[in-house]
Amino acid sequence: MPTSSLFSPLQIGPYRLAHRVLMAPLTRMRAEQASFAPRPLNAEYYRQRASRGGLIIAEASPVAATGRGNPATPGIYSEEQIAGWRKVTDAVHAEGGLIFLQLWHVGRVSHSSLQPGGVLPVAPSAVAIDGVTMTPASSTPQRYETPRALETAEIPGVVEAFRQGARNALAAGFDGVEIHGANGYLVEQFLQSHTNLRTDQYGGSIANRTRFLLEVTNAAIEVWGADRVGVRLSPYGVANGSGEAEPMPLYDYAVGALDPLGLAYLHLLEPRSSGAGRAEVNHTNVPSAMELFRPKWRGVLVTAGGFTADSAEAAVAEGHADAIAFGRFFISNPDLPRRIQRKIPFTPYNRATFYGGEEAGYTDYPVAAE
Ligand code: FNR
């Protein structure tokens, strides 16, 4: 088998990437507080991280006000938000980079204080997360509430919100979209048996639990064409109350159902770093998602989670993945692809400034000297 390197080109849909160091989607909670529109500071952050022929997957963005779960996350459901994102995509394109948007609905990972009208968040079933919200509207953590189960007749409306989000992303100048099917949010709540107790066509069998994922993916495909739509999944993930007791039958089925669609890519989260957004966890004795699913996926495979320059290069050289998405190190190294290529050490990241705030820990990380 011919081997590839992190710095060999990669075709993703219609795009020829110059290298395989992707920027993972990263919630930073620095949009406009009232409109949830991206602002010039956000455009500058993405501009700094763009590289010629590189691909950024922009942070998870709710497709509806009811899909919100955090303060100051940028949305993709209003004209103001589209206009804000247009500044971001223009800035990335001016650097020669590509940018996809991650389409998001948090489902039960929300709180009534963040919902329009103060109503309960919606989910496949009325099953609460056992724990406290990390980012409620107030600064005091509060227990998660029991969400309201979606009526069957409401589900097409949620699929429609994803379709509209995909259309809005097109209007905002993105190059493609990624469906957020990972980390315990709405799509995953449908997939997994402990959060989906439904008895209609969206619950019960694995095929039924996968139906919502396929419907939102197909809605995005209708807008973009399959080769500009990616899907992110986190088998074996434990974030946000997630966790299927036996993940393989479920994810085998889901990946098998996505494979014939001809997507831009499948994006996996490596189980070792599940929950990385919340804490410095490095789970041991967990399987390798890329090695499990590589044989089951004919298209481009992207994976993320706990990679270093060396392990990323090895994963691509050994053929386990086509590209590696970096999260935390892309926060603290705007010039990460160049640093990897030239073996320049990484700047460490400061977890305290991951979520919320202004320039500090956002646009003030240095680029390495030539
Ligand atoms: C994340 N992660 C994440 N994942 C996702 O699918 N959508 C998102 O919006 C976010 N947001 C987010 C914010 C922050 C601050 C962190 C640290 C993480 C997960 C992220 O994309 C990535 O998969 C993990 O960080 C693991 O990769 P690294 O950091 O080990 O390279």
Residue bearing the bigger pLDDT, 278 or 34? 34
pTM reported for the whole predicted model: 0.97
Atom 17 (ligand 1) nearest CA: 277
- CA–centroid distance, 317 to ligand 1, in Å, is 24
Backbone angles phi, psi at 130, to 5 degrees: -85, 100
Q: What is the pLDDT of residues 347-367, one digit of tens each?
A: 999 999 999 999 999 999 999
Asked whether the CA dihedral 330, 335, 340, 345 is positive or negative, the reply is negative
Tokens of 145: 């509430």
Q: What is the pLDDT of residues 194-212, one digit of tens each?
A: 999 999 999 999 999 999 9
Q: What is the DSSP string of 65-98?
A: GGG--STT---SSSHHHHHHHHHHHHHHHHTT-E
Q: Which CATH superfamily is domain 5-328 in?
A: Aldolase class I (3.20.20.70)
Instruction: Choose the catalytic residue: 46, 144, 185, 265.
Output: 185
- CA–centroid distance, 116 to ligand 1, in Å, is 26
Per-residue confidence band for 133, with pLDDT thresholds at 50, 70 and 90 = confident
Angstrom CA distances, 231 to 72, 108, 114, 154, 300, stand at: 24, 20, 26, 23, 11
- Give the type of residue at 120: L
* Rounded-to-integer distance, Cα 55 and Cα 59, Å: 13
Tokens of 209: 């639990």
CA torsion, points 178, 112, 210, 304, in degrees to nearest 10?
40
Instruction: Provide the percentage of residues in the chain whose pLDDT is more than 70.
Output: 96
CB 15 within 8 A of CB 227: no
Find out whether the beta carbon of 210 lies less than 6 Å from any atom of ligand 1: no
Give the mean pLDDT of 109-118: 94
Find out whether the beta carbon of 328 lies less than 6 Å from any atom of ligand 1: yes
Q: What is the DSSP string of 296-360?
A: G--S-EEEESS--HHHHHHHHHTTS-SEEEESHHHHH-TTHHHHHHHTPPPPPP-GGGSSS-SST
* pLDDT mean across residues, the chain: 95
Helix or strand holding residue 123 (H, E): strand 122-123
- Report the half-sphere exposure of 188 (CA within 13 A, side-chain side): 25
Q: What is the DSSP string of 4-58?
A: --TTS-EEETTEEES-SEEEPP-----S-TTT----HHHHHHHHHH--TT-EEEE
Give the mean pLDDT of 165-179: 98
- CA–centroid distance, 327 to ligand 1, in Å, is 5
The residue whose CB lies within 8 Å of the most ligand 1 atoms, and thus the one to mutate among 27, 183, 355, is 27
* Rounded-to-integer distance, Cα 90 and Cα 112, Å: 35
Q: Is 185 a catalytic residue?
A: yes
The domain limits of the chain are 5-328
